[in-house]
Structure 1
């Protein structure tokens, strides 16, 4: 049974502007070390950061804004086949995620079972 659905869209330029203003402080507040390393392994890390930010927001919406859950608690990893998956320590629910990004926007959809 589906417990929740969430969707979010993020401007890549918005993430870039926040990074340019706050730098590593912003990254450390929102993303895990793995997410930062993955994103900065690309020539344009901001579309990857924006996609991960969108996933985190979509997860919070799908879980109906649970108390105590922060963006940093939600980690987006890639499976061995390259598809994204969501890890949340202490949460025992199946989370399906789809994300996409292009030059200006990143979008994510999440289904929680």
Structure 2
């Protein structure tokens, strides 16, 4: 078994500035509708968006893929009924999960008013 770790940290003001500058276009390019709806209905919406952005980048790092070819919407960050975040992979990321013989993908996110961070752990089966 191999364990890949990805981590990311971002300043909340970077996401806030991007949303204020590019509006819905930015949101729809990076986030799924479910992620947008979840975050915008929270008191600290920019912190929630930032944590999801960091989680997506952490997932890409755990997979070892580059950001230039990444489709951020192929990594969706949702919460279970208890509030615990988990990842839904789509498209090329779902394909890559299978191609790597991955067994598990786990994330953890946290944020303050100024920073959001995330860690992704990808467990890959020895082949």
Task: With the length of structure 1 as denominator, give the TM-score of the two structures.
Answer: 0.93
Three-state SS of the structure 2 residue aligned to 1:86 is strand
Aligned to 2:107: 97
- Map of 1:62-81 to 2, 5 A cutoff? 62-65=62-65, 69-81=70-82
Aligned to 1:19: 19
CA distance, structure 2, for counterparts of residue 76 and residue 40 of structure 1: 14
| Rg larger for | 2
Alignment RMSD, CA only? Answer: 1.5
CA distance, structure 1, for counterparts of residue 54 and residue 121 of structure 2: 13
Gaps of 5+ in 2: none
Gaps of 5+ in 1: none
Task: With the length of structure 2 as denominator, give the TM-score of the two structures.
Answer: 0.83
Counting matched residue pairs gives 113
- Per residue, is there more helix in 1 or in 2? 2
